[in-house]
A = this chain, B = another copy of it.
Amino acid sequence: MKIDFKTAMHRLMAAEDVLILTHANPDGDTLGGAFALALALRQRGARANVLCADGVPERYAFLAVPPETEFAEQYVISVDVADRSLLGKAVEESYGDRVDLAIDHHGTNRLFAKESYVEPDSASACEIVYLLLLAMNVHITKDIADRLYAGVSTDTGCFCYSNVTARTFRIAADLLDRGADVSGINVRMFETKKPGFLQLEQQVLQGMELYENGRISLLTITRAMLDETGCRDEEIDSIVALSRQIEGVRIGITFKEKPDGTWKVSVRTHEDVDASQLCALFGGGGHKRAAGCQFDGDKTEAAKRFLAAARTFLN
């Protein structure tokens, strides 16, 4: 069931012994929002821990906070999770039908939680968490501000994507005023490239395929490429972003091989193409300009099917 902002705020204020879930393959927004919320709830005297099916990747380790002694959770919240399947297998099995409150910014949210507060126009889940914490009169400490800023900045490609609104800029300004280490987080998230990453980027670009007079790009990242260059799955965001940055491209598609041999497809589009509708054809979802889906089995066959669908979205 969908609920409004005020109800969501009241649920958070009443919550005790809280478990906060992120999506699998976590990014800065789901982790930043979850840990910021945990710190805020603890500040209010509740107990709160964060659970991520894949743990916290090294790239985002600075967002984690030490867990509290184990307790039996009374209330379960998900942050930035559009569907129970995105919690990851192990977490979905335990908690897929036990989420009390979903806080999310995906228009494709499947309303799997008992109650859902969804703002599809919010550039990040962290923007929503920020507004909820302000309404709850939480004192937004430097530690909370750092985590919210990490989500606000990473989900907008450092304020570069078309999801940015005036509200996004104003929230960033306030988080900076409250002590967020904007400069340090930017260096870490956007301004540090490992030599191996540059190698991976070159390999991926050399294998780039262009279709429909250069209006569709297809990038492929295999496990072998990741292994050879020593790159991790959570480091490829800017390569996925690159798929859309090639001049003339309207639909940028990235096929990334997962450790189990299946394929994660990430789609980035410009304003004339709805990426979430395209991915929904294959059981996926996301945002208008950034969405994803999964494929099992042979990549050539999957790419053929996906490209055929993508072509129908041009014009």
State the A residues within 8 Å of B (CB).
157-162, 164-167, 169-170, 172-174, 176-177, 182-183, 186-187, 190-195, 198, 202, 205, 241-242, 244-247, 270-271
Q: Which residue of B lies closest to A176 (CB)?
A: B166
Cα distance A205–B167 in the bound complex, in angstroms: 38
A173 near B169 with CB under 8 A, answer: yes
A182 to chain B: closest CB distance in Å? 6
A132 to chain B: closest CB distance in Å? 20
Q: Which residue of B lies closest to A169 (CB)?
A: B173
B246 near A183 with CB under 8 A, answer: no
A sample of 29 inter-chain contacts (CB < 8 A) reads A157-B158, A158-B158, A158-B160, A159-B172, A160-B186, A160-B190, A161-B186, A162-B183, A162-B186, A162-B187, A164-B186, A165-B176, A166-B174, A169-B169, A169-B173, A170-B170, A183-B271, A191-B241, A191-B244, A192-B245, A192-B247, A193-B242, A193-B246, A193-B247, A194-B247, A195-B247, A198-B205, A198-B246, A202-B202
Given contacts A173-B173, A193-B245, A202-B202, contact A159 B162 (CB under 8 A): no
Cα distance A167–B270 in the bound complex, in angstroms: 29
Q: Select which of B164, B170, B174, B191 is within 8 A of A160 by beta carbon.
A: B191
Q: Which residue of B lies closest to A193 (CB)?
A: B245
Taking A169-B169, A192-B247, A193-B247 as known contacts, 6 extra A-B pairs with beta carbons closer than 8 A to each other, sorted by chain A number, are A157-B158, A161-B186, A169-B172, A170-B170, A195-B246, A195-B247
Minimum-distance CB pairs A-B, first 4 = A169-B173, A162-B183, A166-B173, A159-B159
